[in-house]
Chain A
Amino acid sequence: INWVDSRTIYIGHKEPPPGTEAFIQQRFPDNRIVSSKYTFWNFIPKNLFEQFRRVANFYFLIIFLVQLIIDTPTSPITSGLPLFFVITVTAIKQGYEDWLRHKADNAVNRCPVHVVQHGKIVRKQSRKLRVGDVVLVKEDESFPCDLVLLSTSRDDGTCYVTTASLDGESSHKTYYAVQDTKAYNTEKEVDAIHATIECEQPQPDLYKFVGRINVYMGNESVARPLGSENLLLRGATLKNTSYIYAVAIYSGMETKMALNYQSKSQKRSAVEKSMNAYLLVYLCILISKAIINTALKYVWQADPNRDEPWYNHRTETERQRHLIRAFTDFLAFMVLFNYIIPVSMYVTVEMQKFLGSYFIMWDDEMMDEELGERAVVNTSDLNEELGQVEYVFTDKTGTLTENNMEFIECCVDGHVYVPQVICNGQVLPDAVGMDMIDTSPGPDAREREELFFRALCLCHTVQVKEEETVDGIKHGIHQGKSTSFYISSSPDEVALVEGMKRLGFTYLRLKDGQMEILNREDEIEKFELLEVLTFDSVRRRMSVIVKANTGELYLFCKGADSSIFPRVVSGKVDQIRARVEQNAVEGLRTLCVAYRHLSPEQYEEVCHLLSDAKLALQDRDRRLAEAYDLIEKDLILLGATAVEDRLQEKAADTIESLHKAGMKVWVLTGDKMETAAATCYASKLFRRSTQILELTTKRTEEQSLHDVLFDLSRTVLRQHGDMTRDTFSSFSGDCTDYGLIIDGATLSAVMRPNQDDLNSGNYKEIFLEICRNCSAVLCCRMAPLQKAQIVKLIKASKEHPITLAVGDGANDVSMILEAHVGIGIMGKEGRQAVRNSDYAVPKFKHLKKMLLVHGHYYYIRISELVQYFFYKNVCFIFPQFLYQFFCGFSQQPLYDTAYLTLYNISFTSLPILLYSLIEQHINMDILKKDPTLYRDISKNSLLRWPIFIYWTILGVYDAIVMFFGAYFLFDNTTFTSNGQMFGNWTFGTLVFTVLVFTVTFKLALDTHYWTWINHFVIWGSLIFFVVFSLLWGGIIWPFLNYQRMYYVFMQMLSSGPAWLSIILLITASLLPDVLKKVIWRSLWPTTTERIQVSGETKTPATATRVSRRDANCADVSIHSVRLSIVGSFSSFHVNLKLKHPFLFCHNF
């Protein structure tokens, strides 16, 4: 045995008897859970290290250090203070989070557990538990580590467990004790168990476990397989079982739960990428500014009388540093202009995202009354991405549909049975009616029919949840007042078993390996359950092997038609197939049922096959699948069932809206084509006018894949060529739109790298080309991984569209993780999807508001935030750059230190933060009513280069106006009525005052939604600036070594021309922007702007028209350059839910 692959555990730390294989004793960690990142001692160094690993912080640290080391124009405070502020706030936040984690860790690690030692129960702290300890767990306690179940209080060695805190499934799952130890159920007896367990090393898959137990009895030892049904996971809770004994096998950080606690790879939004690109541009601007100034400085001071006139000598030390002077000059210029990359932008963006995401959580319209659930935000980094979605990939079952199954009918040999009779419009629940479509069945058929019902009653994994544990079960069910109900991980099975109940066959319970059925004659039939060949999504079927009272052995198999029909040897295949297809077209979920008689010899063989596979330590799954494949053959078809899954409320409306918003909706489902297509029609994904293109196995059987693909692309492209742009972008009825249906098998053929290299890349390209021109695509028969593949394929296509995946089940997790935005639906299939998603909503219909309203708002908010931040810093720094030309390139700052420091962190910070939280350029009801508005912001339209350049030019213009306005005002004259002169600090203060007002008014002009908070913050921050300036200049500050600002601001305000020029310069700065806005709005209005003016939605015809400007912009769309340097800028990751991961496992 390779010790790397497996581990050996001595139960109760008892050495195995001599003579057995020698095991290498391994060391296992203790059961301490450590979710905290820091200790008291390493917090400061480690946290600082973590924080300075981020490029932004590092950049500012370098600037700060440069300021400390060399003689720089601004005091180190100007960059040190904001950096200190940012670092401290982050450190406090992280420290607090870690403190909470410590607290929770301690609570978990100290909680008592009962351990069997020397035949006695001993209480221990959880953290002291070791691998090999035998643990006693009582009802409603949760398991302290991963355990292998040895025995339970129940005689049959089963126990019930709920994994609600692990995967959200609240149903009770049954776990089984090891056969050979299940009898040992007191502490004395348990202590006597002498056994070793070999199992794989810990791995994070919650649902997989392989191991083997060797029980030594005297001299002989018995080996038994262990599977996930024997493994109790840490975090799960014992239910309906008074106690269990189990042995610890994975402890502490090696438990499956701990292994699952790992952060998902971080997704970055398109806005962030643009932001990084802009940042690089600004970095280049910064460096070139510094280089230009350094060069000019040396040109300028080539004349020694300029360099060192008699009135302004250097110190001796300054004179000596010839070589590094140029470099320090460059650095000094960098420092002077470094504010152009604002440290506060990252803080503001983080705050905006963090605080903004609360609006999603608070939204009452996205709350589901029934479930009592609100939308969940797992990451706030992607808020704006919700406004950029181009492709929506949705699951069908549970997402588009309710996943609330209802048994509709069954068909046995062509006879159709409907369990409900509708009488005078009323449903009679108790009445059992059978609608015989064909002639009355003969006795033979009747036998077959009953066999079919029995098969459905037996072939499932449904459990009976008893309200009272006493003997009232049979009674209760018989009375029709069900005191017990069925639970299963698959709602289809529950629907089927309940359907059978209405048809007269009631499944009672599984007791001692006996399945009990109450038949039509109220007799209890017992079947011994021998084997369960569990369901999996690859086989798409499940089977049971039972032994009837008569001793006959049956294999009942239930599964998708495609997986059953090829294995059927007899039965009325054609009739049933016809019925199945008919049902599928109506959107019903169909299953086929088949059986097979097993002779005892065959059963022997089956047993042999299974136990071989089960005992394997390696590749057990593959070997099991092979075994199942051998067993499930030569079946006799019995019939088929149909179960309806109703569409979710407003699903159709939502899809229609998404379509109108320009999104392409793809349905990815594991269901069969007909059913899925019916759902698509019902949900208006396909319309009557939609021309359906099929790319299915059926077609590829007739023609080669190559031909089919080329055919389709020709059809699609011909149409596309005919269309003008305007009609293309509208979804009016007169032009055909296409819907594509593709199935899993064909898809994998398309995706498969082909042997002949010529076509390998081609297929994908053609396929993508077809998809691009289809308004809706349905992918059926998809395996979970294929869903992710599709998403990946689209993501990687040449436009790099933004994708969104929405799903509710574990099978959607892969695509949820793959897509740019993953949305989980809080459905019935557990919580995996919600846990792995970025956002989770209770219902599919909530997607509409999420994207059309929240996404739209967040996008315009953050894009304004980003553009504005760069703009205001250009305005801020460019005058300083210009000033260098007038001060001999001496790096003299234009503004006072206080202004340099506080400009970004207090004078201009709050208005933009508030704007980015509550701006609404259009009323949200209009956004919801008119989905086409979503197209106005598609393709990152507000952060394209032309717009960025416009903002930058605007910033430069404003800076020039401000600087030269002040320059001409100061030019060699006085502007006070007492003839006194102003100095350079007044000059800077004048520019700064104009700057703060201009920049704030610019934001005010952009604000379309003025609540009292906006008024408060915008006017408040201007008043704050004035009050601060009065105060700052009003006192001789004792702690400062300069008093340059003393009375500067007040003296300036005492001059009339200063007031006049402030007003003039503000007006002149704002003028072009206002003009641009007004003219653009009049001449080339976007849909958004039109609606803003009219104030209400217009007729769809006008609304759908996309203005020519947008159409043109789409062509020039320049894809933002991807940059890695600033990736870490975003890693100030906001944890929305600060819970202990091991106590509340929803936030894995």
Chain B
Amino acid sequence: MMASSYNAKEEDGHHSGSASHGGAAVVKSKKPDNTAFKQQRLPAWQPILTAGTVLPAFFVIGLIFIPIGIGLYVTSNNIKEFEIDYTGVDMNSACYSCAKNFSWNSTTSCLCTVDFTLEQPFESNVFMYYGLSNFYQNHRRYVKSRDDSQLNGDMSALTNPSKECEPYRMSEGLPIAPCGAIANSLFNDTLKLYYLEANGTRNEIPLVKKGIAWWTDKHVKFRNPGGNANLTAVFQATSKPVNWRNPVYELDQDPENNGFINEDFIVWMRTAALPTFRKLYRIIQKKSSTMPTLPSGKYVLDITYNYPVLSFDGRKRMILSTISWMGGKNPFLGIAYITVGSICFFLGVVLLIIHHKYDTRSTGADIPN
């Protein structure tokens, strides 16, 4: 009797509160969760990191990482890479005089030729890079010295470039297109590669200049103002960057690779992360399945030496490299994987010992106390 009346009372209390919700079922389904949360008693998974639970994870990581690392390392080692410095610091080097006699005012370009030998043939596509050292493309003043609106084909930005471009914004009273320090310092050496046949004839190797820039950059981010036709007219009221020989609309003959959408230009405009960097210059496509793209033998690199680096103690390199799925030659990832994997495995063993010695002992020894 007592109990039932008590229950009735409690129900009454609930009713008054729940009447507005319009149904007992709603209240029932809603309430437990809510109170569980309020009472901090939500159902929960309560994992604990102990030697026992972590052990398998360590072994598994070790067992996965070591093979991956070995795979990466082998892949990296199979990549062929050839690098040659043509800065011309040494008296003996071919480009010494070009480097020494460099002057901004000279109208004729200096040519030099570097010979080199590939010991091994380069299979599949070969990528040709130019590399610069001690060149701070990631300097803040440099990085921000560009106008993305202008490069995107914005007409107003073309005639009135962003303030960020200073001091490469205006020249002789006209706005510079493309403005800014990055564009102004566009790498303008020309590299040509010849295969030196046994009889001494030079065989020019065709260098493909398309596909070196990101597709999205080429087609979306960089656009010529008013389309690709009639660039000369569009850039009429602008001035070329101070250090350029030719205006932007004369970068290439091909209208699809001229103006702001010139791929060499786009590649340059993606500022490098570190002061020593390389940028993709040309691609040497594989021609037949039987012949290596670059057979072993002697080669000649013809350089039109336009780009001064000695003033800031920089270096210029030409790199030939094959590419795997993981990119160019870089043993770091493979070694790192092997190292981390081995450490995990080793720690797994250490933990196993600790686990056996201490965990079982401590839990076993304490209970009788």
Which residues of A approach B to under 8 Å, CB–CB?
73, 305-306, 309-316, 358-359, 362-365, 857, 886-888, 890-893, 918, 920, 923-924, 965, 967-984, 986-988, 1005, 1008-1014, 1036, 1040-1044, 1046-1047, 1051, 1055-1057, 1060-1061, 1064, 1067-1068, 1071, 1074-1075, 1077-1079, 1081-1083, 1085, 1090, 1092-1094, 1098-1099, 1101-1102, 1105
Contacts known (A977-B325, A1068-B340); A983 close to B273, Cβ less than 8 A: yes
A1060 touches B337 (CB 8 A): yes
Chain A residue numbers with a CB within 8 Å of B72 are: 1057, 1060
Q: How far is the CA of A766 from the CA of B50 in the complex (A)?
A: 47
Contacts known (A890-B136, A969-B333); A986 close to B327, Cβ less than 8 A: no
Partner of A1082, one of B213, B340, B355: B355
**Across chains A and B, which 6 residue pairs bring their CB atoms closest together, nearest first?**
A311-B185, A987-B273, A975-B327, A362-B38, A979-B127, A890-B140
Interface string of B106-142 (1 = CB under 8 A from A): 0000000000000000000101010100011111111
A986 touches B139 (CB 8 A): no
B68 touches A1060 (CB 8 A): yes
B50 touches A1081 (CB 8 A): yes
A977 touches B324 (CB 8 A): yes
Contacts known (A975-B330, A977-B326, A1082-B354); A1042 close to B311, Cβ less than 8 A: no
B40 touches A977 (CB 8 A): no
Partner of B327, one of A974, A1075, A1082: A974
Q: How far is the CA of A31 from the CA of B184 in the complex (A)?
A: 76
Q: How near does chain A come to B338, taking the closest CB pair, in angstroms?
A: 11
**Additional A-B contacts beyond A313-B167, A1101-B369 (4; CB < 8 A):** A886-B138, A979-B127, A1008-B46, A1064-B340
Q: Which of B86-94, B193-201, B274-282 lines the interface with chain A?
A: B274-282
The winner among A305, A970, A1043 for most chain B CB atoms within 10 A is A1043
Closest A residue by C-beta to B144: A1042
A1010 touches B330 (CB 8 A): no
Q: How near does chain A come to B147, taking the closest CB pair, in angstroms?
A: 8
Chain B residue numbers with a CB within 8 Å of A1105 are: 366, 369
Q: Which of B16-24, B232-240, B357-365 lines the interface with chain A?
A: B357-365
A312 touches B142 (CB 8 A): yes
Contacts known (A886-B275, A1056-B326, A1093-B363); A972 close to B152, Cβ less than 8 A: no
Q: How near does chain A come to B342, taking the closest CB pair, in angstroms?
A: 12
Chain A residue numbers with a CB within 8 Å of B329 are: 973
Q: How near does chain B come to A1097, taking the closest CB pair, in angstroms?
A: 12
Q: How far is the CA of A1085 from the CA of B360 in the complex (A)?
A: 13
Q: How near does chain B come to A368, taking the closest CB pair, in angstroms?
A: 16
Q: How near does chain B come to A792, taking the closest CB pair, in angstroms?
A: 35
Question: Can you list 6 pairs linking A and B with CB atoms under 8 Å apart?
Answer: A310-B312, A887-B138, A1047-B220, A1057-B327, A1060-B337, A1064-B340
A984 touches B354 (CB 8 A): no
Is B149 an interface residue, CB under 8 A from the partner? yes
Is B308 an interface residue, CB under 8 A from the partner? yes
Q: How far is the CA of A311 from the CA of B217 in the complex (A)?
A: 23
Q: How near does chain B come to A183, taking the closest CB pair, in angstroms?
A: 50
Q: How near does chain B come to A66, taking the closest CB pair, in angstroms?
A: 16
Is B48 an interface residue, CB under 8 A from the partner? yes
Q: How far is the CA of A1082 from the CA of B352 in the complex (A)?
A: 11
B340 touches A1051 (CB 8 A): no
The winner among A306, A976, A983 for most chain B CB atoms within 10 A is A983
Partner of A977, one of B141, B271, B280, B323: B323
Partner of A1010, one of B47, B278, B321, B363: B47
A1051 touches B216 (CB 8 A): yes
Q: How far is the CA of A976 from the CA of B211 in the complex (A)?
A: 13
Q: How near does chain B come to A357, taking the closest CB pair, in angstroms?
A: 13
Closest A residue by C-beta to B34: A362
Closest A residue by C-beta to B324: A977
The winner among A364, A972, A1071, A1105 for most chain B CB atoms within 10 A is A972
Contacts known (A316-B167, A969-B330, A1056-B326); A984 close to B271, Cβ less than 8 A: yes
B277 touches A312 (CB 8 A): no
Is B344 an interface residue, CB under 8 A from the partner? yes
Is B155 an interface residue, CB under 8 A from the partner? no
Closest A residue by C-beta to B125: A979
Chain B residue numbers with a CB within 8 Å of A315 are: 166-167
Contacts known (A312-B139, A1081-B50); A980 close to B366, Cβ less than 8 A: no
Chain B residue numbers with a CB within 8 Å of A1055 are: 327
Q: How far is the CA of A312 from the CA of B68 in the complex (A)?
A: 43
Chain A residue numbers with a CB within 8 Å of B142 are: 311-312, 890
A312 touches B136 (CB 8 A): yes
Q: How near does chain A come to B250, taking the closest CB pair, in angstroms?
A: 21
Q: How near does chain B come to A531, taking the closest CB pair, in angstroms?
A: 50
Q: How far is the CA of A981 from the CA of B213 in the complex (A)?
A: 8
Contacts known (A312-B181, A918-B40); A1093 close to B166, Cβ less than 8 A: no
Is B351 an interface residue, CB under 8 A from the partner? yes
Is B84 an interface residue, CB under 8 A from the partner? no
Chain A residue numbers with a CB within 8 Å of B220 are: 1036, 1046-1047
Chain A residue numbers with a CB within 8 Å of B214 are: 980, 1047, 1051
Q: How far is the CA of A974 from the CA of B330 in the complex (A)?
A: 8
Partner of B185, one of A312, A1057, A1092: A312
Contacts known (A1064-B340, A1071-B340); A1041 close to B162, Cβ less than 8 A: yes
Q: How far is the CA of A975 from the CA of B327 in the complex (A)?
A: 4
A965 touches B46 (CB 8 A): no
B328 touches A974 (CB 8 A): yes
Partner of A1008, one of B47, B149, B168, B279: B47
Partner of A305, one of B146, B313, B367: B313
Closest B residue by C-beta to A1075: B347
B362 touches A1085 (CB 8 A): yes
Is B291 an interface residue, CB under 8 A from the partner? no
Is B270 an interface residue, CB under 8 A from the partner? yes
Q: How far is the CA of A309 from the CA of B309 in the complex (A)?
A: 9
Is B39 an interface residue, CB under 8 A from the partner? yes
Closest A residue by C-beta to B274: A886
Partner of B38, one of A359, A1047, A1071, A1078: A359
B140 touches A892 (CB 8 A): yes
Q: How far is the CA of A16 from the CA of B351 in the complex (A)?
A: 95
- Interface positions, chain B 191-249, Cβ under 8 Å from A, are 211-214, 216-217, 220-221, 243
Q: How far is the CA of A886 from the CA of B181 in the complex (A)?
A: 19
Partner of B308, one of A310, A968, A973: A310
Closest A residue by C-beta to B41: A924
Q: How far is the CA of A1057 from the CA of B69 in the complex (A)?
A: 11
Is B43 an interface residue, CB under 8 A from the partner? yes
B39 touches A362 (CB 8 A): yes
A972 touches B276 (CB 8 A): yes
Q: How far is the CA of A1011 from the CA of B44 in the complex (A)?
A: 4
Closest A residue by C-beta to B221: A1046
Q: How far is the CA of A942 from the CA of B131 in the complex (A)?
A: 51
The winner among B147, B214, B216, B366 for most chain A CB atoms within 10 A is B214
A1077 touches B49 (CB 8 A): yes
Interface string of B314-336 (1 = CB under 8 A from A): 00000001011111111011001
Chain A residue numbers with a CB within 8 Å of B302 are: none
Q: How near does chain B come to A367, taking the closest CB pair, in angstroms?
A: 11
Contacts known (A311-B142, A362-B38, A1009-B44); A965 close to B366, Cβ less than 8 A: no
Q: How far is the CA of A449 from the CA of B41 in the complex (A)?
A: 61
Chain B residue numbers with a CB within 8 Å of A1067 are: 61, 65, 340, 344
Chain B residue numbers with a CB within 8 Å of A892 are: 138-140, 143
Chain B residue numbers with a CB within 8 Å of A972 are: 131, 274, 276-278
Chain B residue numbers with a CB within 8 Å of A968 are: 330, 332, 336
Is B27 an interface residue, CB under 8 A from the partner? no
Is B251 an interface residue, CB under 8 A from the partner? no
Q: How far is the CA of A350 from the CA of B170 in the complex (A)?
A: 51
A359 touches B167 (CB 8 A): no
B330 touches A971 (CB 8 A): yes
A1061 touches B333 (CB 8 A): yes
Q: How near does chain A come to B53, taking the closest CB pair, in angstroms?
A: 9
Partner of B40, one of A359, A890, A1010: A359
